[in-house]
Amino acid sequence: RKEVEQDPGPFNVPEGATVAFNCTYSNSASQSFFWYRQDCRKEPKLLMSVYSSGNEDGRFTAQLNRASQYISLLIRDSKLSDSATYLCVVTGNTGFQKLVFGTGTRLLVSP
Amino acid sequence: DADVTQTPRNRITKTGKRIMLECSQTKGHDRMYWYRQDPGLGLRLIYYSFDVKDINKGEISDGYSVSRQAQAKFSLSLESAIPNQTALYFCATSGGIGAANEQFFGPGTRLTVL
């Protein structure tokens, strides 16, 4: 089983739609959780950290469910510029808590 | 100017050649990382360094070596390149004590080994 699993998509949605991605992780000892965004052929960039209480940043909401070992990302009012691959990232169980990256979920927002 | 830079941005080479990928950062971070990204596999950690005197293997270090020449510079070498090392390589930095702090990535180097 992969340490971090995501639906690769693509998720095709029209502008203005609400879309949600889930990600499951296998290491129950993981302490930190993130969503990174990666545009085609570009470097990943941190979108938001995911806190136990859930957190919101504008149109983006991230939630963590430790019992079921999944995190989610909700995007409201999708924009064309939201088209990208969204990487689920968790910390591993080594001494320095290395980051473990999911393979990403691709989102395509159309006019 | 970009905070994390990588050179070259693209490289095509032949099997058996020695290749060096370079990474420089102006963020003043102590921690630097090398990852490779392959379709369907996500980013995988090759090597990481917590300071100039500290080098550690990641999950896929075989066939690679690194050098931390200074706080700002971390290079990755392929001593004898092979085709399955064809990938997109990213350098990253972080300034925190734990990986809980944000990692900042360079623009990547696209390496093709023929």
In tens, the pLDDT along B102-111 reads: 889 999 999 9
Mutate to test the interface with B, among A46, A99, A100, A106 (most CBs of B within 10 A): A99
Euclidean distance between CA atoms A76 and B2, whole angstroms: 31
Predicted confidence at residue A98, as pLDDT, reads: 78
Contacts of residue A97 in chain B, CB cutoff 8 Å? 98-100
Local confidence band at A3 (pLDDT 50, 70, 90 cut-offs): confident
- Label residue B103 exposed, middle or buried (CB < 10 Å: 0-12, 13-18, 19+): buried
Euclidean distance between CA atoms A73 and A63, whole angstroms: 7
Euclidean distance between CA atoms A104 and A36, whole angstroms: 9
Residue A93 has pLDDT above 90, yes or no: no
Kindly write down the DSSP assignment for every residue of A2-31, as one continuous string: -SEEE---PEEEETT--EEEEEEES-TT--
In tens, the pLDDT along B25-82 reads: 999 999 999 999 998 888 999 999 988 999 999 989 999 999 999 999 999 999 999 9
B76, B21 Cβ separation under 8 angstroms: yes
* Closest chain B residue to A46, measured at CA: B102
- Region A7-36: mean pLDDT is 93
DSSP A110: E
* Closest chain B residue to A95, measured at CA: B98
